[in-house]
Structure 1
Amino acid sequence: MSAASTPEPGIPGGAGTSGPRRRAGGRRRKPREKRHKALLITAWTAAGIVVLGGTGLGYVYFTLNGNLDSVDIDQALGTDRPAKADNGSQNILVLGSDTRSGGNRKLGGGTDDGSARSDTAMIVHVYEGHEKAAVVSLPRDTLIDRPACADTDGNTYPPASQVMFNSAYSTGGAACAVRTVESLTGLRMDHYLEVDFSGFRKLIDELGGVDITTTRDIEDPDSHLTLKAGPHRLDGEQALGLVRTRHGVGDGSDLGRIQLQQAFLKALLDQVKDIDLFGDPKRLYDLADAATKTVTTDSGLGSVNALMSFASGLRGIGASDMTMVTMPVVYDPADPNRVLLEKTKAQQVWTALRNDRPIPRSATKGTATGEAAGVVRD
């Protein structure tokens, strides 16, 4: 590709979601829900810190290994699944949840009945050669047809029509979420990584904060976030507020929040990659300890050795090597608090990833964006 050419959205360094921002009819209302939302780090962010924790000390290994939670998704899903890619590319479903700690309720993300929430989801596609990646955010408010699924305890759940995407996780946990994504996309999810946002806050604090710049003021009392336009170093609590805010930016939708999450994530990846931790063993251990307490994985990544091996293949992928887009959707004319899959454009995304190719620009042009792009830059 020549220097004068324009990168495609599916190629790291490309433009991401593009095209005019428009709505599919009606005046956009701010969603009524006010509870705090879950968030995520991509697979290699958490896992990459675990790699740095591989000191070889027995005590460290067993402590970190004991921190990890894992779920046997493959057994729950059985054999009726999309085929695995044969070229070394991988798809990882990454969810943000509030399941691992009662402390989540103190952050506003937990519920009084102790039930789990997952309001943020991304498919991370690692291209052949593991030198670049594409990330597709799946809006929680998308109305979908959820397939029949089973959880890891063997409980089964009937299919449901026109339900919110994030209901899959609250219905049958990780296995049902993976089943739903595979049904929606036709793509095999090779791994699953769930990030707990209470632990995420501690992880950001252990990193010493993350540097971002806001291009305009953000004021959202629901997420307890107030930021003036300009540069900031966000601590863990502020980072949580940023990635779950929706009322303070754009059209007040989940799509706007996705735009903020993607910008923050790129800043986080750059910062993690630039930190030299080997000169500070205590800080290195604290980060590895926080990271392993923050994630839940599929059983294939359920040990420090497995997670280290997986992450080692991703260490060369930084923010400049990946592109982020949002699953093509339009606002639901019948309910502006929901979005509908733009099936033709979405199929372009899934076909591109299935063939390990760039996502074509036409797949994201003219779809709903939330109107929050550019509010945060690293």
Structure 2
Amino acid sequence: MSSGLLDLQPASEDPPRPRRRRRWLLWALVFLLVVMLAGAGAVYSVYARLTGNVRHIEVTREDLGDARPAKTATAAVNILVVGSDRREGPDAEAGERTDTIMLAHLSTARNEAVVVSFPRDSLVQLPACRARDGLPGQQGHLGMINSSFARGGIACTWKTVEKLTGIHIDHFVQMDFTGFKGMVDAIGGVDVYLPEPIHDEYVRLDLPKGWRTLNGEEALGYVRARYSLGDGTDIERIERQQDFVRAMAKKAMSGETLTDPTRLFGFLDAATKSVTTDPALTPGVMRDLAMTARGLTGDRIHFVTVPWRFSTAYRGRVEWLPQARTLFRSLAADEPLTAGDPATPDDAAGAKTGGTR
């Protein structure tokens, strides 16, 4: 039941169209970073410099409470992956917000992974969170899932996802989207195709139609833009971000980057400066996870979206279907997904606002 409080951020005028889409945003980038860092370990001074860039935030028992989901008696690992967007000025909400929340589940045998995406427009029952790090904290209420980050940071988001899913989370990885600028510039820009000109004063983007190599500043505006592109929905923006991350990862892993020490170091330096984890998720632990999962093939990595529907009571919002509970129970028990599992598969993309190459 709701506490009587209601928190609804402004929604788009028209509800988004449902689409089957791939959820590579952040996961591809996080996995890419771990693998490339593991390779950099051969040169200790470089590895030490890069891993020293990573920030850490401790999430305590006081933050999460005593009524946490039980940890299963397996070696499965659950990692909360959050994409944050630092904002400055009077329009900023507590200085930072998150538009991307995912939960990555790595099986005990390290032969299967499931990445669950939580739509930002999800209207859910949020738990109470304590104030910390200059943030006001949160009362229990019905609101947008990303409200927890603005009011209580990563600790509150961790608690929120555990409460909603019943899945015990082991670690978190937070990536700052503004770090895209340095990463994109380091690899010489990323090519995108624009089917129509973009004129967006909010993100300060003015680009002609056609193929263009976006620099860091342009790339940040491109992944943040919403109402000036496509149908103006957050769902469409997520698709565009996913495409861009895929294109950036492809270029970062290309011979053009890997054979250029200056370019490679610049990319990894910018990327690691954008990463925050819990203290227990050390670079060594990340490297070990990457090594144990090195045999994980693409067909064993499942990208799914929480089963949802459009809210009939709150325009522009989505609500989770009862089938979501079945998905969460399977992951909590480290059970493999089957063809009949009630989750939206993300292996088919919908219409695109633009493209990458």
Question: Which TM-score tier does this pair reach, normalised by the shorter chain?
Answer: 0.7 to 0.9
The structure 1 residue matched to 2:26, chosen from 41, 51, 54, is 41
In structure 2, what is the equivalent of residue 187 of structure 1?
167
CA RMSD of aligned residues (A): 3.8
In structure 2, what is the equivalent of residue 348 of structure 1?
326
Give the deviation of 1:293 after TM superposition. Answer: 0.4
The structure 1 residue matched to 2:81, chosen from 82, 94, 98, is 94
Give the deviation of 1:136 after TM superposition. Answer: 2.2
Retained in 1: the 8 A contact 2:120–2:145?
A: yes
In structure 1, what is the equivalent of residue 223 of structure 2?
243
Q: 1:274 and 1:90, CA in 2 relative to 1: closer, same or farther beyond 3 A?
A: farther
CA distance in 2: counterparts of 1:194 and 1:328, whole angstroms: 24
Letter in 2 for 1:50: L
The structure 2 residue matched to 1:63, chosen from 23, 46, 49, is 49
Deviations 1:48-67 (A, max 9, x none): 33323324434x34433432
111-120 or 272-281: which moved more? 272-281
In structure 1, what is the equivalent of residue 313 of structure 2?
334
In structure 1, what is the equivalent of residue 19 of structure 2?
none
In structure 2, what is the equivalent of residue 363 of structure 1?
342
Q: 1:80 and 1:194, CA in 2 relative to 1: closer, same or farther beyond 3 A?
A: same
CA distance in 2: counterparts of 1:348 and 1:267, whole angstroms: 34
Retained in 1: the 8 A contact 2:304–2:344?
A: no
Deviations 1:174-220 (A, max 9, x none): 11100001111111222211111121221122233345556x44746
What 5-or-longer segments of structure 2 have no aligned partner? 1-11, 16-23
Q: How does 1:195-344 map to 2 (within 5 A)?
A: 195-211=175-191, 216-217=195-196, 219=198, 221=200, 222-223=202-203, 224=205, 226=207, 228=209, 233-275=213-255, 279-301=259-281, 303-314=282-293, 322-342=301-321, 344=322
User: How many positions carry a matched residue from both structures?
Assistant: 331
The alignment-based identity, stated in percent, is 33
Secondary structure of 1:337's counterpart equals coil
Q: 1:228 and 1:158, CA in 2 relative to 1: closer, same or farther beyond 3 A?
A: closer
Retained in 2: the 8 A contact 1:199–1:291?
A: yes
Retained in 2: the 8 A contact 1:44–1:314?
A: no
Letter in 1 for 2:179: G
CA distance in 2: counterparts of 1:138 and 1:159, whole angstroms: 21
CA distance in 1: counterparts of 2:288 and 2:297, whole angstroms: 18
Deviations 1:15-45 (A, max 9, x none): xxxxxxxxxxxxx7259xxxxxxx9622313
Give the deviation of 1:92 after TM superposition. Answer: 1.6
Secondary structure of 2:273's counterpart equals helix
Secondary structure of 1:363's counterpart equals coil
CA distance in 2: counterparts of 1:292 and 1:276, whole angstroms: 20
Deviations 1:93-134 (A, max 9, x none): 1111134xxxx54xx9x9557622112212222344434433
CA distance in 2: counterparts of 1:287 and 1:114, whole angstroms: 29
The structure 1 residue matched to 2:116, chosen from 136, 140, 157, is 136
Q: TM-score, normalised by structure 2?
A: 0.76
Deviations 1:135-178 (A, max 9, x none): 22212221111112236669994542211111101111111100
Give the deviation of 1:270 after TM superposition. Answer: 3.9
Q: 1:341 and 1:235, CA in 2 relative to 1: closer, same or farther beyond 3 A?
A: same
Retained in 1: the 8 A contact 2:183–2:267?
A: yes
CA distance in 1: counterparts of 2:140 and 2:65, whole angstroms: 20
CA distance in 2: counterparts of 1:359 and 1:261, whole angstroms: 28
CA distance in 1: counterparts of 2:94 and 2:227, whole angstroms: 25
Letter in 2 for 1:83: A
CA distance in 2: counterparts of 1:82 and 1:305, whole angstroms: 26
The structure 2 residue matched to 1:29, chosen from 13, 36, 39, is 13
In structure 2, what is the equivalent of residue 82 of structure 1?
69
CA distance in 2: counterparts of 1:202 and 1:147, whole angstroms: 36
